Amino acid sequence: DGGITQSPKYLFRKEGQNVTLSCEQNLNHDAMYWYRQDPGQGLRLIYYSQIVNDFQKGDIAEGYSVSREKKESFPLTVTSAQKNPTAFYLCASSITWDTNYGYTFGSGTRLTVV
Amino acid sequence: GEDVEQSLFLSVREGDSSVINCTYTDSSSTYLYWYKQEPGAGLQLLTYIFSNMDMKQDQRLTVLLNKKDKHLSLRIADTQTGDSAIYFCAERRQGGKLIFGQGTELSVKP
């Protein structure tokens, strides 16, 4: 079955450490996205990639980095520069950047700084 | 403003209808979407409506669009406890970007 897999489901990080969240899709989608979800604030776009080997900053990119070396993979690194990283992180993909069909989401990774 | 606005909470009794409202911002948005998020999970696309339509019905779901007021609503008929979740509306702006609302947490009481 096609879909998006995020791992791990839960992640704990010590202050000052970088951590990488995995996102893999087998839908053959060109575009991929990372969102951060905080209670009462909805989804905020961190980074997006319209096509392999290309990515752009979203609305809250500071303290995060991404790569898109393979079409199916879009890992997100939360760096020590991110001041408040505890949140629920969602990865999504779409057939193309400008599709009308909406996005397919992964099941999320909950990151907690301890 | 820039934001898509939704009320944060809605509580209904099982069997009643639920109406979740959303106000979007960009009159040139071409598609509008409703997503459902169950606890600890990702978002699932429920339905979408093209901006030249006023209404779309899909089984228990009815979407109404008032383009003049930039108002979108999702009606769930015969609401069940399994409908308890967070519901997000989203607008697709020029250039393809999806902008999401804050989400409405629907609580269905037996």
- Measure in Å the smallest separation between the Cα of A67 and chain B Cα atoms: 20
Cis peptide before A8 (omega within 30 of 0): yes
Q: Whose CA is closest to B32, among B55, B13, B9, B11?
A: B55
Report the pLDDT averaged over residues B73-98. Answer: 92
Residue A74: predicted pLDDT: 98
Instruction: Report chain B's mean pLDDT, rounded to a whole number.
Output: 92
**Among candidate residues A68, A93, A67, the one with its CA nearest the CA of residue A3:** A93
Banded model confidence at residue A41, pLDDT cuts 50, 70, 90: confident
Angle at B92 between CA B89 and CA B94, to 5 degrees: 155
Nearest Cβ partner of B8 from A40, A100, A103?
Answer: A40
- Strand pairing class (A104-105; A87-94): antiparallel
Q: Nearest Cβ partner of B45 from A40, A102, A106?
A: A102
pLDDT above 60 (res A17) = yes
Report chain A residues whose CB lies below 8 A from the CB of B102: 40-42
- On chain B, the residues whose CB falls within 8 A of the CB of A35 are 100
Instruction: Give per-residue pLDDT as tens, B7-21.
Output: 999 999 999 999 999
pLDDT at A75: 98
Any idea what DSSP says for residue A73?
Answer: B
Q: Please give the single-letter amino acid code of residue B69.
A: D
Lowest average pLDDT, out of A74-78, A81-85, B69-73, goes to A81-85
Q: What is the chain B residue with the closest CA to A58?
A: B97
Per-residue pLDDT of A46-72, as tens digits, reads: 999 999 999 999 999 999 999 999 999
- Nearest residue to B6 (alpha-carbon basis) of B29, B31, B28, B33: B33
User: Is residue B43 within 8 Å of B35, Cβ to Cβ?
Assistant: yes
Give Cβ neighbours of residue A84 (< 8 Å, ≥ 6 apart): none
Backbone angles phi, psi at A69, to 5 degrees: -85, -20
Q: What pLDDT is attached to residue B32?
A: 93
pLDDT at B2 over 70: no
Report the candidate in A4, A1, A36 with the shortest Cα–Cα distance to residue A23.
Answer: A4
Mean pLDDT across A109-114: 93
A99 neighbourhood in chain B, CB within 8 Å: 96
Encode A44-66: b = buried (16+ Cβ within 10 Å), e = exposed.
Answer: ebbbbbbeeeebeebeebeebbb
Closest to B72 in 3D by CA, of B33, B26, B18, B17: B33
At B1 the pLDDT is 47
